[in-house]
A = this chain, B = another copy of it.
Amino acid sequence: MLTVCIRRALTKRSSSLKNKHCSRTRSSSSSTEDPDQFRTLLQLCVDRYYVSPGQVNTELFQRGMCCNYGPLGTELRRNLLDQWWRSVTRSRAQVFGINTNSGLDRTAEGQGPLRIVDYENLKQLLERQELSKEQLIQEAHLLLQRCPSVRTNLLQGALEQFVPTLGVVSRKLPFGLAETGLCLQPAEGSGCPAEVTQTSLVWFCSLHTSSQWLDHWTRQRLKWWRKFALSPSDFSSSEVPPEELEQAASRGVRIMYSFPWGQESLETLWNRGNAELLHTHQGVRSKLQCRDGRKSIPHVVSITGNMDRGMLAFLSNSLQQLKRQDGKQKLLQRKVLKLHPVLAPVKVALDIGKGATMEQRQVCEGLLLEFLEAKISTWPGYLETLTTSLEQLNAKYDEMGVLFTVAIGENTLESGLLQVRSRDTTIKETMHISEVKNFISKYISAADNI
């Protein structure tokens, strides 16, 4: 909680600073005063290389499904998955990462409804003239039953990997198995099946601690979502009502986000009992017994997230639309994607002020390599040859969510001084070229450790 408080305080502080000449118009989660807000976000995501254009693709994105992401969306997704992985596998000793097959190696049975079929094989079958209709139907069933099924979640893989992992922990509870990967969601109605980037932690513990663990992980997960939020209160948790509980589950909690069109679930935690685990291992209790005071079959708490919708939530949460008047009393609207420094896909944009020379470009290239070596993701703005005013450039980088813009001016070559503009404060600082890498590195790692 402390960390959330500190961050809130920091956010407030910085926004009160920069809002001197601005009035915030960002609608709060419950209001519907700005119905266009989401359309603005979608357009921004397409324009600024988060999401590839095309109606089919943006619809997938809007539904919280995996779509074609542009360079910035790809990097944001990587950062988000990285943070999830770190927070889950490195939070305690007893969480182990696994990687399970999408279901392709499962033998014969192939329980899922979605199957991968080689169309050529089926074509050949359908072209066999000598078969009667009944024979054809029978052969088609046989062929399909042999086809591998595609996973729709990561839970089953973790349940299967439970036994091989027992050796790692000498059969001692509790422990968990973490995995991220694509899962297929069966089509709704006549639509196509779509993919989702899923995160999964399957936590094995004793019966009498399972409800406490559910509470523990709910707190942890909510804290995690809020850590990266601009307005943390848009993220909340709520108990699943008894009538909506999944088959095997005795209790469930959802982490919700307030989208402009209503609440949607980002992550779900279930207290699932041990029936599925027993079923997966054909009820052979001796294989499953663990030590936790006394011998018992562990109970399962599953924590399943949808990181595509998570991306949508953070993007939606971080878009600020600010109205302000410029010097000539013209009303400007400034859009800023205030993604958390750790999540922001581009940390620095490198640009050349007016009168670009070959020498300035060389300075940019040197600085770029220096940043990349320090693992600071950098946007090579200097490559763009269209002449744009610095004002327009800043507006563009704000929409991209770029943390800092570094501008190499004409006098950089002589004095070694350059200008560093901050997305969050809009303040421009003059800094020596030898200091800028450390300044940015420190800023990011400080934000990470709050």
Contacts and interface: CB of A to CB of B under 8 A. Distances in A.
Contact of A94 (B86, B104, B182, B380): B380
Nearest to A66: B101
Interface stretch (A71-79, A222-230, A312-320, A351-359): A71-79
Contacts of A187: 118
A182 B182 CA distance: 9
Given A93-B368, A93-B383, A113-B120, A107 B56 contact: yes
Nearest to A85: B78
Interface residues on A, range: 35 or more
Report the copy number of this chain in the oligomer: 2
Interface in A365-380: 365, 368, 372-373, 375, 377-378, 380
Contacts of A193: 104, 116, 118, 148
A91 to B, nearest CB: 8
A100 interface: yes
A420 to B, nearest CB: 19
Interface stretch (A166-174, A247-255, A262-270, A325-333): A166-174
A109 to B, nearest CB: 12
A93 B133 contact: no
Contacts of A167: 49
B70 A116 contact: no
Given A114-B116, A380-B94, A192 B105 contact: yes
Nearest to A127: B137
B68 A170 contact: no
A122 B73 CA distance: 36
A271 to B, nearest CB: 24
Nearest to A93: B380
Interface string A182-219: 10101100001111000000000000000000000000
A97 B74 contact: yes
Interface in A115-135: 115-120, 122-123, 126, 132-133
A280 interface: no
Contacts of A122: 140, 144
A157 B140 CA distance: 32
A291 B145 CA distance: 52
Contacts of A375: 86, 90
B164 A385 contact: no
A144 to B, nearest CB: 6
Contacts of A74: 96-99, 179
Contacts of A182: 102, 182
A136 interface: yes
Contacts of A288: none
A250 B314 CA distance: 45
Question: Which A-B residue pairs are the 8 nearest by beta carbons?
Answer: A93-B380, A71-B96, A133-B133, A69-B99, A74-B97, A90-B372, A74-B99, A117-B117
17 contacts: A66-B99, A67-B105, A68-B100, A68-B105, A68-B157, A77-B99, A90-B377, A93-B380, A101-B195, A105-B194, A115-B119, A116-B184, A119-B144, A123-B141, A126-B141, A136-B136, A148-B193
